[in-house]
Structure 1
Amino acid sequence: MYPWRDRAGQLSGFKLTVFLLLLLPGVWIAVAWALASPDPNAGTLLAGAVNSATDAMPVTKALHEIGLWAVRLLILTLAVTPFRRIAAWPALIQIRRMLGVAAFAYLAIHFILYIVQQNFRLIFVASEIVQRFYLSIGFVALLGFLILALTSTDAAMQRLGGRKWQRLHYFVYPLTMLGLWHFFLQSKINVSEPVLMSGLFIWLMLYRLAYRWNGSRSLLLWHLGVLAIAAAALTMIGEWAWYETMTTLGGNRILAANFTLASGLRPSWWVLIAGLTVVFLKIIADRWWGRDRATRRRRPSTAAVSAG
């Protein structure tokens, strides 16, 4: 079934829009890569790949950008369930599979671009994966997401059974952690983007824990407020720990930078802003969508009185 059609086989404007938006980052990166090629006749992505041996920078840039978008799409995929509940928007569930498959597609392209960067030396690529830890965990994550992508179909769910399928797809959480770890190690010194993505991942995991702790009931505003603060604090601590243990810059300088605007907002503050935005979304959803639900509940009783 085409991703832009609903379960009835009808064209879905919502799914089609999301599908086209998912293509945009890849198209943008491909065009930028082609235009950066040193060969004036290289007007396509394939032509850029052929010239990668003489101009590695466009390939490296494309490799990193595609990887970044893969992580972003993983986070968006995990955000569907919380936002579906908080915003009272059941239609969001329609795009979760599409987002997940798109995230894997970007991961696969990321790996292919690494092979291109290494001039298609497959034996060398295999040896690098074995010898370099950050490549090893990235490759393990890729294989894991491949399994999840292949079993994301309705047919696979029927063959496995709902419970086994769900257990298998719970591996998305540790696999995402491996992907983020790979992102950290690959980024080396400047880990602002990995810290931000990890902070958002922390919020998503805290939300799931809180939702279960609350008996699978909707979280209240103060719950979401606490989650925002907790996720931001853990992000700040994680950033400090990384710079303290993995670099020569020292964590204390980075920690102090969280309390000044001299270098702009640190990732922990963006995580806090994102968490508080969810609180605001909850307020809007409760006021508007909650009012609509209450109105729909009252209508049958009114009709019954009129009929009687």
Structure 2
Amino acid sequence: MSTGFSDSDIATLERIGHDSIVNIVALCIDAIFYTLYFILVIIAGHMLLKRGPFKAALFTLTLMVLMLLMDTAICIIDVSNAIHEITLTITSNSDISLADRYTLTDNFPWAVEDALYAWMSNLGDVIIISRVYAFYQGEKERWFMLLPISLLFGSLITSVLISFCTAQWSENASIGHLIDTDFCENVQLSSYCTTVATTAAATAMMSYKLWQYSREIAHDLRSVTSGRTRLQRIMMIFIQSGVLYLLFFIEAIITDSSSAIIQAEVATTAKAFACTIWTYMTSHIVGIYPAVVVILAHSQRSCFETVS
């Protein structure tokens, strides 16, 4: 029985239907993680303003709110993309073929999300470095902070370059994704690498501080106080969360640097579906990381109070 659709139209409708199912599921999970992230920011903000020095608390809270706003923008783009795929194809009155209308979805602003994601990572690094700085306030120790700050500066440069690629993409959206050029792809990978390096440096510096305090306690067991115990727990929070965050970005580096892995991720419908869900979650994870660190650290009492 004839349906009035060509084979190309039928294949395109199948892709649109599959995309719609994936988008609905992904957006539902997206909403859950965004709500969790929003709640964590509120809790962290309350703890910061209640227990920490006002200026330092306001600085950290401002960065967290900026990250939340960027994540909100990413969520809005995701919702907009899902809606526009339907309006550009099924509900469109355009004279061009359905297959050609479907190709218009290639020009969705994915590059904008890449830029926002990079800046979110940078702001998260600033929060973590400021937490590490609380343990390196001695005159000689402050020189150690040059390492993570230098790496952070490198991350900021890559974010600026990604933003440049995004601006070029927006100007040339009709001819495709400029973000997919070799230069921009390498910048994206470099952004992951600098974030890993910054997190590794901060985690290593916190590990050194934990080792240093442990030695002091071992030499004089009588000096062990509840404050020291809290301090060790706070440092362990930084170290353990830092390792998890490292693994998160190392996975991104491995994935983006291997075409074989990229192809394997979309080899089956189930794998492609899982990768899409994971992609929707990543920006929330980047934002949740510093919020959780702040909450866990301040639940043991403020780092600044303990160090002082």
| Structure (1/2) with the larger helix percentage | 2
Q: Same fold (TM over 0.5)?
A: no
Give the number of the structure with larger relative contact order, counting CA–CA contacts within 8 Å between residues 6 or more apart: 2
TM-score (ref. length: structure 1):
0.38
TM-score (ref. length: structure 2):
0.38
